Amino acid sequence: MAVAAEHGYALSWRRTDQLANYSVSRLAPILEKLARAQSRMLGTADEVPADQWRTKPKGGGWCAAEIVAHLIMVERSVVGSADRVVQHAPRRFSRLQRLHLPLALVEARIVKRQAPVPVDPEMLGEKETMLAELRNIRERVLAFLEETKERNLAVYRWPHPFLGSLSAYEWFEMVARHELRHEKQMREIAAGYRKP
């Protein structure tokens, strides 16, 4: 009996260890994408002069401040949703319900999408203040991922307005791809300020 209890404990310990390894292996590429996306965005945003931060580009579209405000809103929403979802037991989703469009579509600017939530004009501030807030929300994301790294976040899902149902891991990959998408948009704005 003692051997069985000891063996059961060993199986439980091994399962926990495997789960932690699985979670860490899922997180590593996401963390790398998040770091690369933010580095590129901040580098490109630095090329936009502070006095032009809230000036719309000549061809139309969002100004640099609106892009960053949008990124802050999306990232804040994702980490807030993730925090709420993991407080409860994961819901079951059928295979059909787990289907979604490829996340690569988020990064590609082939299809122009209208943001489901308009940019809050109250968020449009000075360049350095907004970039600091973008860095702060990313720190919150990284803290959340660090706090939950021993858990399998793949079992937690919620719907994306365009892509379908995404797991928590997929949501954080989407955050990185979304930032890369808008970095391309920021690069177009910054190109207008480069000296020939």
pLDDT at 83: 96
| 196 located within any domain | no
- Residue 16 confidence (pLDDT) above 60: no
- 170 occurs within a structural domain: yes
Q: pTM for the full model? A: 0.82
Could you tell me the two tokens for 147? 């706090």
- Here the CATH number for the domain that contains residue 117 is 1.20.120.450
Q: pLDDT, tens digit, for every residue of 34-67? A: 999 999 999 999 999 999 999 998 888 899 999 9
- Amino acid at position 65, single letter: A
Give the other-Cβ count within 10 Å of 94's Cβ.
8
Q: 50 lies in a domain? A: yes
Whether 139 maps to a domain, the answer reads yes
Is the model more confident about 14 or about 35? 35
Q: Indicate whether 156 pLDDT > 70.
A: yes
- Report the distance separating Cα 73 and Cα 80, nearest Å: 10
Q: Both ends of the chain: CA-CA distance in Å?
A: 81
Q: What is the pLDDT of residues 104-147, one digit of tens each?
A: 777 776 666 666 667 888 889 999 999 999 999 999 999 999 99
Range with lowest mean pLDDT among 79-93, 94-108, 123-137: 94-108
pLDDT of residue 17 exceeding 70: no
Q: Domain residues for 131?
A: 2-191
Report the distance separating Cα 189 and Cα 58, nearest Å. Answer: 9
How many structural domains compose the chain? 1
What region does 11 belong to: left with phi over 0, alpha with psi -120 to 50, or beta?
Answer: alpha
The answer to the question of residue 21 being in a domain is yes
Contacts by 29-36 with C-beta closer than 8 Å and gap 24+? 29/173, 30/145, 30/169, 30/172, 30/173, 30/176, 31/142, 31/145, 33/173, 33/176, 33/177, 33/180, 34/138, 34/141, 34/142, 34/172, 34/175, 34/176, 34/179, 36/176, 36/180
Q: Which residues contact 2 (CB under 8 A, 6 or more apart)?
A: none
Looking at residue 125, its pLDDT comes to: 93
Specify if 121 maps to a domain. Answer: yes
Instruction: Specify if 33 maps to a domain.
Output: yes
| pLDDT value of residue 72 | 97
**Residue 6 pLDDT greater than 60, yes or no:** no
Asked whether the predicted pLDDT for residue 103 surpasses 90, the reply is no
